[in-house]
Amino acid sequence: MKEFFEQCLRDLEPLTGKRQVYYWQTETEPDATGKPKGARKFEVCVMGMVTQSKFFSYIPETDQKRIISEMMVKDQEYEALNSSVVFKWLSMYKDKYFTDANAPGPERLHEYTEEEKQRIDKLANEFKAQLVGQTPNFKGIEKDIEALKREDAERVEKKAISANRKINEEHIRQREKLAEIAKERGLDKLGLHEISKFQVEDKLIVARNLQEAREIYIEVYEN
């Protein structure tokens, strides 16, 4: 995405008339590192947009590029191309991609044990024998069928219990982590007028500002 954002900045003036890069190019005075201030601003802007892009990792890069390229022309309200504008544009489309990215995958096929395979083969052979007019021995077949049904039901129930346990454990871990980070950052000592709730991805994060909320989100949900 770095090369993409660099090209977006270079294309900005001929595409929209916004002379963002031109003004940076006029800032030739070196900063503390010896690099022209304008060149430094260009690099920081690109770095910020790349970082912002990573917050929307569930949106494929090809789609991110398409959205940003289109919005550079469609959006008539932005003053400059930067990380805030990238966040605004990608947020407009995030719901669809987030839902698709978190949709449950296909159910994994059950792998039967050797004993289960033998019992299934037995049932199949007895059924085939009946079709050709033989007289199979169905003794105990009802018990076999019922046993298979019970085993399947138990397997589904255990899977559901395990999944719920994992979700609950993860939720508790995240809540404890949020409380720990809030204490480390001193948020627990602030008044209600000093903090707010910010929407980051699908979570509401309490922080002083949006940047801090994003940092907390990364610490809790991505580490």
**What does the pLDDT look like over 148-187, one tens digit per residue?**
777 777 777 777 676 667 666 777 888 888 888 888 888 8
Instruction: Tell me the average pLDDT of the chain.
Output: 82
pLDDT value at residue 101 = 54
pLDDT value at residue 10 = 93
Asked if 207 and 213 count as a contact pair (C-beta separation under 8 A), the reply is: yes
Q: At which of 40, 72, 101 does a domain end?
A: 101
Task: Indicate if 149 and 205 belong to the same structural domain.
Answer: yes
- Say how far apart CA 172 and CA 155 lie, in whole Å: 26
- Say how far apart CA 40 and CA 10 lie, in whole Å: 15
- Say how far apart CA 163 and CA 172 lie, in whole Å: 14
- Give me the percent of the chain exceeding a pLDDT of 90: 35
5-29 pLDDT, tens per residue? 999 999 999 999 999 999 999 999 9
Residue 135 lies in a domain: yes
Task: Indicate if 198 and 152 belong to the same structural domain.
Answer: yes
Other CB atoms closer than 10 Å to residue 181's CB: what's the count?
Answer: 17
Task: Indicate if 118 and 209 belong to the same structural domain.
Answer: yes
Task: Indicate if 77 and 142 belong to the same structural domain.
Answer: no
Task: Indicate if 120 and 97 belong to the same structural domain.
Answer: no
Task: Indicate if 86 and 119 belong to the same structural domain.
Answer: no
Task: Indicate if 124 and 214 belong to the same structural domain.
Answer: yes
Residue 142 lies in a domain: yes
Domain count, the chain: 2
Whether 143 has a pLDDT exceeding 80, the answer reads: no
pTM of the model: 0.46
- DSSP reduced 3-state for 106: coil
- Give me the mean pLDDT over the 18-42 stretch: 91
Residue 54 lies in a domain: yes
Q: Between these two residues, 5 and 105, which has the higher pLDDT value? A: 5
- Give me the mean pLDDT over the 96-109 stretch: 59
Q: At which of 101, 132, 151 does a domain end?
A: 101
Pairing of β 196-200 and β 203-207: antiparallel
Asked if 202 and 98 count as a contact pair (C-beta separation under 8 A), the reply is: yes
Lowest mean pLDDT, pick from 96-105, 122-131, 175-184, 200-209: 96-105
Residue 69 CA: distances (Å) to CA of 15, 53, 62, 86, 212? 10, 14, 11, 10, 28
Task: Indicate if 118 and 217 belong to the same structural domain.
Answer: yes
Whether 66 has a pLDDT exceeding 60, the answer reads: yes
- DSSP reduced 3-state for 30: strand
pLDDT value at residue 108 = 56
Task: Indicate if 95 and 131 belong to the same structural domain.
Answer: no
Q: Between these two residues, 101 and 144, which has the higher pLDDT value? A: 144
Supply the range of the domain harboring residue 178.
114-222
- Say how far apart CA 2 and CA 43 lie, in whole Å: 10
Q: At which of 52, 76, 101 does a domain end?
A: 101
Residue 108 lies in a domain: no
- Say how far apart CA 59 and CA 144 lie, in whole Å: 49
Other CB atoms closer than 10 Å to residue 213's CB: what's the count?
Answer: 20
Task: Indicate if 25 and 61 belong to the same structural domain.
Answer: yes
Task: Indicate if 133 and 60 belong to the same structural domain.
Answer: no
- DSSP reduced 3-state for 94: helix
Residue 186 lies in a domain: yes
Strands (E) located in the chain: 196-200, 203-207
Q: Label residue 97 by pLDDT band (50, 70, 90).
A: confident
pLDDT value at residue 11 = 93
Residue 96 lies in a domain: yes
